[in-house]
Structure 1
Amino acid sequence: MRIATFNLNGIRAAQRRGFEQWLRERRPDVVALQELRAPASAIPPDVFGPYHLAYDAGTLAGRNGVAVLTRRAPAAVRTWTGTALIRAPDETHTDTVELGPVSLARGLREFADQGRYLEVDLADAPITVASLYLPKGGLPAHLQKPGRMREAPDGGARYERKMRFLDAFARQLTRSRRDARAQGRELLLMGDLNIAHTHHDVRNWRRSAQAEGYLPEERQWFDSILSPRTLVDVVRSRHPDTDGPYTWWSWLGQSFTNDVGWRIDYHLATPRLARTAVAAGTDREPAADRRMSDHAPVVVDYDL
């Protein structure tokens, strides 16, 4: 079973840059998508071809939005708001449906309507697949230096918001993993976590030691959700001692051409599922002018 995750940086822009061709040629069975950045009514017709769509657009106009594409209609869909757009390949409706009551971990309600998390139970495999778009965050106040930042100093507000999210999401993730296990399912969490876990995940890791996404506390949080008994970083397990494969490059300068990237998009799987991975990597485009997004798809083949 081929499963992919891809931060599109806008579904309409990605379509113009070749997303549909990638979907046809790679033929994944399941795709987790992040940052569709579109209300349901603005999703281009037929862009997902023969796939069933489960989508949480969130309420932030032009931002976020997570989805899962499947070849068969999912057995169940869950979001943090209890609603989602669920659409078969031949449907065009934009109405959301009620999915039932939602139990959220303490602290997560603040983020529930932002279109950051959606999970589905696959109908053709005992797997719960989740798509996550984790907040980018920022620098803590003591590291913010006016004139040396692309964004205006905010006193650490973005950093504190991300840390609140991490704290709450860790509790929710434990709950989802245990719920999946109770139903006889494996859990596969995919998406843009906006954290590079180790020095193998950032090309210029020494210079990035005080950059958002590579702060010690962010990396420690990442340590806390991984273990041989809970979740495994699937791509890293297949490439244990390599730099990369990177999944994000800035649009600026020659970052992509020189492979000055970050690995911030992941497959995190329960151990039994992780052991079935036979191939894992990044679909990095051959040239900068052929990029579909500032991210690249991360694709793993699981021998179920």
Structure 2
Amino acid sequence: MRVASFNVNGIRAAQRRGFEEWLAGRGCDVVALQEVRCPAPMLPEGVFGDYHLAYDQGTINGRNGVAVLTRERPAAVRAWGSGVLVRASGETHLEEEGHDLAWPLSRDLRRFAAEGRYVEVDLADAPVTIASLYLPKGGLPAELQVPGRMRGEPDGGAKYDRKMRFLAGFARHLTAARRASASRGREYLVVGDFNVAHTRQDLKNWRTNGRSEGFLPEEREWFSSILSPRSLVDVVRHVHPDEDGPYSWWSWMGQSFAKNVGWRIDYHLASPRLARTATSAVVDREASYEERLSDHAPVVVDYAFPACPPPPGGCAGGG
């Protein structure tokens, strides 16, 4: 089972740069997308090939949007918003379906429910639940904001506070989602753009970024708190324990890409049994700046995980 996570930074822009060719040639069974950033009626025709689509576009025009592409129509689809847009392979229309979580969304996450940041599917051809996540980028706490030394205007820590509320709520959500998957006889895998570099191995210039959003001590501590051998495992780090990177994001500016001055902020976090089956974990970093599809690169993992019988038998515990 080959699973990819890819922040496309706008599907229409990614299509112009060659997304369809990458998708057609990569042989993925599941592809999770973030920052699709496109109203459903304006999704480019044919951009997802023969895949089934589950898409939470959110309600903020031109921002966010998460999707999961699968070979078989999912056995179930769930998101935080009021409905998910689902399209079967080969169909041109999208249908809106309501899918509720099996547990109440935490108070900290309710304000994010309509933003298109989380969607999960139960695979029809394997006993796995896979979620696509786009976590807020955040900002600096008020005490670290210095006018003239920031790209934007100081906001008194508003973006930082917002991200920290999301992190608090999402930690609880991960526990609930993992346990709910287990109750259905399924493994759990959440992939996507977490906007946090966990350790010094996860960004090139860690010495100069200790006071930067995405590498703040409290963000890194939060990331440590959601990982353990009994809950969720960072699959890429499990496969590459001693490697710097592999990085998955580089600024469009300057020579960051050419010199591989990147950040690893796109992850596969899997339940332990699934994580142990990972046989390969790579980042599809393009050969040159001109060939880039996005400011992120796809993170692709192969899992030697047994598939269940195809429908109509379905997966035990699925649905």
Deviations for 1:81-102, whole angstroms, at most 9, x for unmatched residues? Answer: 2410000121122442222466
Which 5+ residue runs of structure 1 have no aligned equivalent?
A: none
Indicate the residue corresponding to 2:39 in structure 1: 39
Indicate the residue corresponding to 1:85 in structure 2: 85
- 1:10, 1:284 → 2: CA distance? 18
| Counterpart AA for 1:17 | R
**Residues 233-272 of structure 1 aligned to structure 2 (within 5 Å):** 233-272=234-273
Shift in Å at residue 250 of structure 1? 0.1
| Counterpart AA for 1:34 | Q
* Residue 49 of structure 1 pairs with residue 49 of structure 2: yes
Give yes or no for contact 1:32–1:67 (8 Å, CA) kept in 2: yes
Deviations for 1:206-242, whole angstroms, at most 9, x for unmatched residues? Answer: 1000000000000000000000000000000011011
Deviations for 1:226-268, whole angstroms, at most 9, x for unmatched residues? Answer: 0000000000001101110000000000100000000000000
- 2:9, 2:292 → 1: CA distance? 11
SS in 2 for 1:107: helix
**Residues 214-229 of structure 1 aligned to structure 2 (within 5 Å):** 214-229=215-230
Shift in Å at residue 286 of structure 1? 0.4
Indicate the residue corresponding to 2:179 in structure 1: 178
Q: Which moved more, 1:96-105 or 1:40-49?
A: 96-105
SS in 2 for 1:137: coil
**Residues 284-295 of structure 1 aligned to structure 2 (within 5 Å):** 284-295=285-296
Q: Which moved more, 1:95-104 or 1:193-202?
A: 95-104
- 2:97, 2:224 → 1: CA distance? 36
| Counterpart AA for 1:65 | G
Normalising to structure 2: TM-score of the pair? 0.94
SS in 2 for 1:256: coil
Shift in Å at residue 106 of structure 1? 2.8
Shift in Å at residue 151 of structure 1? 1.2
Indicate the residue corresponding to 1:108 in structure 2: 109
**Residues 181-200 of structure 1 aligned to structure 2 (within 5 Å):** 181-200=182-201
Indicate the residue corresponding to 2:97 in structure 1: 97
- 2:11, 2:19 → 1: CA distance? 8
* Residue 145 of structure 1 pairs with residue 118 of structure 2: no
- 1:44, 1:295 → 2: CA distance? 20
SS in 2 for 1:187: strand
- 1:35, 1:150 → 2: CA distance? 21
Query: Which 4+ runs in 1 deviate beyond 4 A?
Result: none
Indicate the residue corresponding to 1:72 in structure 2: 72
| Counterpart AA for 1:46 | G
- 2:276, 2:108 → 1: CA distance? 33
Shift in Å at residue 105 of structure 1? 1.9
* Residue 273 of structure 1 pairs with residue 282 of structure 2: no
> C-alpha root-mean-square deviation of aligned residues, in Å?
0.9
Indicate the residue corresponding to 2:311 in structure 1: none
Indicate the residue corresponding to 1:160 in structure 2: 161
- 2:82, 2:27 → 1: CA distance? 30
- 2:8, 2:197 → 1: CA distance? 19
Deviations for 1:96-130, whole angstroms, at most 9, x for unmatched residues? Answer: 22224662123211100000000000000110000
Give yes or no for contact 1:30–1:71 (8 Å, CA) kept in 2: yes
* Residue 61 of structure 1 pairs with residue 80 of structure 2: no
- 1:107, 1:211 → 2: CA distance? 23
- 1:262, 1:115 → 2: CA distance? 23
Give yes or no for contact 2:80–2:101 (8 Å, CA) kept in 1: no
SS in 1 for 2:108: coil
Indicate the residue corresponding to 2:15 in structure 1: 15
**Sequence identity of aligned pairs in percent?**
66
- 2:196, 2:101 → 1: CA distance? 31
- 2:95, 2:38 → 1: CA distance? 14
- 2:100, 2:303 → 1: CA distance? 31
Aligned residues: 304
- 1:45, 1:108 → 2: CA distance? 33
Shift in Å at residue 274 of structure 1? 0.2
Indicate the residue corresponding to 2:203 in structure 1: 202
SS in 2 for 1:289: helix
SS in 1 for 2:173: helix
